[in-house]
């Protein structure tokens, strides 16, 4: 599978189901208080360090970007899907959203106070993950927090054109360490459910 193919497939899948996906996640943070807590920790880390611009990479319809903004964070969203970005701009006017890929972030070195990628790295093939995390390391300033949310498991689910990779926290943590991040905490999400997840709290090393 080439990079162009899986990126194109992912973009096409989210473009086609942008409205349906938005309906599924619209009240996600209301329903899941522990996710709000994770975002609160992230916001506190950014603000305590003096603030600055934060990227929500794979922002979808912008619900997480908006929540961070309400917590006082200067957050903006990046998403591969133009349809998703259109919905984010419609639903959250005044916030900045742009079309882009985490495989090629168009951001200056150390320009971000922090970066969040919730359930967006799941569409990146294993062989591409180290390069993506190296890009995260490049754009986040030393000491800046990074949060990665993902489905937990050891398989790949296929939904039409869309591939969703389940990974163990240990594997994702190893990739993060190899990219120059220190792991500070781990949150298991719905571990007894049919779709368990995890959030890793990391910090960019110098």
Neighbours of 174 (CB within 10 A): 12
Task: Report pLDDT digits (tens) over 25-59.
Answer: 989 999 999 999 999 999 999 999 999 999 999 99
What pLDDT score does 1 carry?
44
Helix residue ranges per DSSP H, the chain: 3-16, 18-25, 28-31, 33-48, 63-70, 82-91, 129-139, 169-178
**Phi, psi at 31, each rounded to 5°:** -80, -25
Task: Report pLDDT digits (tens) over 113-163.
Answer: 999 999 999 999 999 999 999 999 999 999 999 999 999 999 999 888 899
Q: Average pLDDT, stretch 16-31? A: 93
Average pLDDT, the chain: 96
> How many domains would you assign to the chain?
1
Q: Does the pLDDT value for residue 183 go beyond 90? A: yes
What pLDDT score does 144 carry?
98
What pLDDT score does 160 carry?
82
Alpha-carbon span 183 to 194, nearest angstrom: 26
What pLDDT score does 46 carry?
98
What pLDDT score does 2 carry?
57
Angle, alpha carbons 86-122-141 (nearest 5°): 80
Task: Report pLDDT digits (tens) over 84-102.
Answer: 999 999 999 999 999 999 9
What pLDDT score does 49 carry?
97
Alpha-carbon span 105 to 114, nearest angstrom: 14
What pLDDT score does 159 carry?
84
- Domain housing 71: 3-204
Number of H helices, E strands in the chain: 8, 9
173: CATH = 3.40.50.150
Tell me the pTM: 0.95
Residues whose CB is less than 8 angstroms from the CB of residue 86 and which lie 6 or more positions away in sequence, other chains included: 18
Neighbours of 94 (CB within 10 A): 7
């Amino acid at each position: 599978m080439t990079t162009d193919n899986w990126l194109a497939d992912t973009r096409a899948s989210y473009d086609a189901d942008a409205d349906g996906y938005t309906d599924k996640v619209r009240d996600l943070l209301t329903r899941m208080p522990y996710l709000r807590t994770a975002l609160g920790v992230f916001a506190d880390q950014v603000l305590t360090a003096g603030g600055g611009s934060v990227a929500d990479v794979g922002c979808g319809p912008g619900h997480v970007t908006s929540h961070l903004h309400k917590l006082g964070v200067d957050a903006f969203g990046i998403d591969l899907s133009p349809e998703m970005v259109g919905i984010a701009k419609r639903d959250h006017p005044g916030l900045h959203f742009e079309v882009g890929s985490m495989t090629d972030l168009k951001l200056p070195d150390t320009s971000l106070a922090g970066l969040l990628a919730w359930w967006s790295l799941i569409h990146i093939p294993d062989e591409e993950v180290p390069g993506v995390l190296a890009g995260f390391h490049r754009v986040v300033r030393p000491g800046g927090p990074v949060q990665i949310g993902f489905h937990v498991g050891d398989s790949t689910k296929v939904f039409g054109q869309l591939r969703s990779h389940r990974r163990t926290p240990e594997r994702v943590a190893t990739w993060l360490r190899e990219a120059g991040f220190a792991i500070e905490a781990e949150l298991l999400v719905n571990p007894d459910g049919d779709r368990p997840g995890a959030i890793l709290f990391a910090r960019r090393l110098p």
